[in-house]
Structure 1
């Protein structure tokens, strides 16, 4: 019941009823990424390209799409990652979603949100005042 109400009244928790119906009518499942997001391809757009969309698992956050799927979603490649053997380079870091606004967000030294003390002011800065 909760899932049904979320689909009716919210767009940020997975798919809405409209997206579910559109996917049922026009979508062809292309694949799924390691985070559980499901990717679809459907009818042609007015530009002559197949329409592509993703149904997020949980909260709809665009930065949760891994690099390989991002390239496919934005028509940089026509081959989805599920149909190719992609091996990450040694220098590539694993994909991480944007953590801004969460407890795990980056907080540099001196930030109000960071723990600890702010560094002392060195005195080499003179504030601007009008008329000086």
Structure 2
């Protein structure tokens, strides 16, 4: 491991696992991986190790940029203790009306920009004259 990669692990949390996460991985148990390559871990139910958290400790190592919205719904539920079984242990089949998960694109070139936005290339529709401004006298 080069000095640069060690420094990157210490000082940049957005590039993947930090040095603290690497220490946690020693005792962590791999639980599963999602379709985006994010890897999920937990600290097994050991009252002594989990005492500071009050519950089982769970964490994710992101495949790329550390962005919380990159976690699909099933894994989000497991990470936040909404469900106990990780999606990797279930045979869930999405319904035909369910769309695949997409991370939040706000702040990127793929962000939603409605008609009339200063950053949109689409033209805002012309005013139709059906709007009357409010005034306190009305």
Identify the TM-score tier after normalising by the shorter chain.
0.7 to 0.9
Matched, 1:113 2:113: no
Q: What's the TM-score once normalised by structure 1's chain length?
A: 0.85
Matched, 1:13 2:15: yes
Q: CA deviation at 1:58?
A: 1.5
Matched, 1:55 2:56: no
What does 1:19-30 align with in structure 2 at a 5 Å threshold? Answer: 19-24=21-26, 26-30=27-31
Structure 1: stretches of 5+ with no match in the other structure: none
TM-align CA RMSD: 2.2
Which consecutive segments of 4 or more residues in structure 1 shift more than 4 A?
45-48
What does 1:28-107 align with in structure 2 at a 5 Å threshold? Answer: 28-42=29-43, 43-46=49-52, 48-107=54-113
Q: What is aligned with 2:46?
A: none
Q: CA deviation at 1:22?
A: 1.6
Partner-residue secondary structure (3-state), 2:113 = coil
Structure 2: stretches of 5+ with no match in the other structure: 44-48
